Structures are given as C-alpha cells and as structure tokens.
Copies of this chain bind each other. A is one copy, B any other.
C-alpha cells in the first residue's frame, strides 16, 4: 500500500517536472526532439543524482517505462502547449508540485537506504532542485533556484518535516503527505504573495570606508 502511494507520487513528480522542461523548450522554440531531451532530463535528473550519490542503481535503468513516460509527456506538450498567456505561470506551478513531491520522495529513499537524518534532508533538497537546475542551465533560463522568492527553502521545509515525523514514528503515508503539503504550501505562498526570506545585506557604507 505504502509502496503504491509513494510510487504514484513519484510518477506525478516526474511528469510535472518533465512538463516544465518541455515548457522551457517551447519558450526556446525547439523541435520535438529538443522537447523530449529537455523534458526527460528535467523529469529524471533529480532522482538520477540521488541514486548515484546514495550508491543505488539508477531508477530508470531497469525500468524503461520512466523514459517512455517522459518522452510521451514531452511530445504531448509539443502539440498541446498552445496557451501562451499562461505558459510561464503553468511552468512555475508544475515546478512547485514537482519540488514538493521530490523533496519528500528523495528524503524517503535516503531514509530507506539507511542514511542519517541530515543526509536524508540534503537528499530531499538535491532531488527536488537538481532537475530544474539542469533544465535552466541547458535551456539558458535564469535559474529558478536563484529566484528572489522562497524556493530551495520550501524543499528544505518539506524534507525536514518528513524526516522529523518519520523519526518520531509517524506512519509513512502521513509523513509523506504532511511533508509534501508543507513544501507545496510554502512554495505556493511564495509564488502568490512573493514571500521571501531576509536577504544578505551589506553593512551601509560609512564615510572613510575603502571602496568596494
């Protein structure tokens, strides 16, 4: 039962991220192979790095259904993405869903592999953000991880909530669901209300300071 739930969420996250990659491809007016490449890399990137770092077999190597799903989703966007007025907003919201899902699933897989809590949280953040980083680098977009609004922090919060709940013995379905909900709510609020954390500020310069 639990396997089914996380597996369904995993697929949902992969499809959401694949769609964001394909939407970046549409912004760059790529051809259909470009959609498939950028969509697939975004969809499987985070989980791939997670598995390599944990020393596990990479999840899509033994199960071609992942690649086929990514390719088909990308082709679908190629033919269906014709609603320019909402494309960038769709991208950000799909990215938010993928971010919150992968933060929890990445942490869960690390816990399952016997990793320590700190490492599990880091793995959640890595899984949640890496696909989008590669997407933005390859697509020549300004990296969403550097955006002014809360982004990596939402993944961090979701992963921390999941790991803490798991550590105190919460049933996994509940821990997964709560972590996901917290991560998504924080990122959604950041998108909608422009939430951000205090940023680093230089001390105001005083007369007599050496030049920067």
Chain A residues packing against B (C-beta within 8 Å): 25-26, 28-35, 37, 40, 48, 52-55, 57-58, 60-62, 64, 67-68, 78, 81-82, 84-85, 115-119, 122, 125, 129, 133, 137-140, 143, 145-146, 150, 152-153, 156, 196-203, 205, 209-212
CB distance from A43 to the nearest CB of B (A): 12
Copies of this chain held together in the complex: 3
- Given A29-B201, A199-B30 in contact, is the A210-B146 Cβ separation under 8 Å? no
CB distance from A103 to the nearest CB of B (A): 13
Please, how many angstroms separate the alpha-carbon atoms of A205 and B53 in the complex? Answer: 46
Are B153 and A33 in touch, CB under 8 angstroms? yes
Please, how many angstroms separate the alpha-carbon atoms of A198 and B30 in the complex? Answer: 8
What are 8 A-B pairs with beta-carbon distances under 8 A? A31-B150, A33-B153, A53-B61, A64-B118, A68-B118, A84-B202, A85-B209, A85-B210
Are A29 and B60 in touch, CB under 8 angstroms? no
Determine which of B32, B116, B140, B203 lies in contact with A146 in the assembled complex, contact meaning CB atoms within 8 Å: B140
